[in-house]
Homo-oligomer: A and B are copies of this chain.
């Protein structure tokens, strides 16, 4: 093995000695700085490779006050499948860029939220931050970050400054398309379960539903639109109330899969058959959506891709590279399965 004096890995000094240059030159090469002769660069790289040299993060951080790590802050959810797909994308982008990822689950809203984040920032001294919905809309938080000069990126915020790093998908279009699909099957009384009021997606999806109704000459009926919270239980209870109406809907569009699963469960409890008596649709295409009986018609967001994209953007910003001119808006796809069918009559 290539052990040396300190018993651990090789240091910049070892590489410098081996390459016959000064440590500063090694540093330059490692950081891709300009003004190094190609020949010198090669010598250094060869030496580094031979010694299996890997820069010491702590030293780097101490001297340069960069940490080469970012964090993802999220509201710790009951259902993790959305976040899992976010993580897949973020890890991927981080790995490629040589960044580490720290996770920071939070209770939100919570009186101590801001303090916790502040302590976290101080402890870890990360270079940047990704805020998942609805944290990206917390103005105290974003103000704090701006104040401290910490770059951050937002996943699906309600609103944001023009220069913010943001990714979202076209929730309105996706829900409009879904609603149109349901209408095209022949449904006329279509229920809608809204998402959590704090999330940007909630209004957008509702709007897509409304637009589709309007375009097809169907009138909006407030009794068929209920407030949910993106969880199973709210899907279950709101669906129950709608199906107990004198004139129940023949289809219910839920703003995500968890609520759709709850709606499906409620329908069963009330003796409704899905989709024969009532069609049900979700949003997200979680694993559960395809494993439920009947499997759910839903909308698939390219969540992993979106997460990868925004992570890439954030790291570029941290490095002061100019951001790719790409737009941060992604399109969704309808996934047609067996929870939808024409109405019985």
Contact = CB atoms under 8 A, between A and B. Distances in A.
A151 B56 CA distance: 20
Nearest to A79: B287
Interface string A116-138: 00010011110000000000000
A255 interface: no
A101 interface: yes
Prevailing SS type, chain A contact patch: helix
B58 A67 contact: yes
Interface string A61-73: 1100101000000
Interface in A40-89: 54, 56-59, 61-62, 65, 67, 76, 78-81, 83-84, 87-88
Contacts of A100: 102, 123-124
A65 B58 CA distance: 9
A291 B91 CA distance: 30
B80 A84 contact: yes
Contact of A57 (B123, B262, B264): B123
Interface in A224-279: 232, 258, 261-262, 264-265, 268
Contacts of A316: none
The 3 tightest CB contacts between A and B, nearest first, are A58-B61, A80-B84, A58-B62
A288 interface: yes
Given A67-B58, A265-B293, A287-B79, A105 B125 contact: no
9 contacts: A54-B122, A58-B58, A58-B61, A58-B67, A80-B80, A80-B83, A87-B105, A91-B105, A265-B293
A103 interface: yes
A98 B62 CA distance: 20
Interface in A148-171: none
A292 interface: yes
Contacts of A288: 288, 291
Contacts of A67: 58
A265 B288 CA distance: 11
A124 B265 contact: no
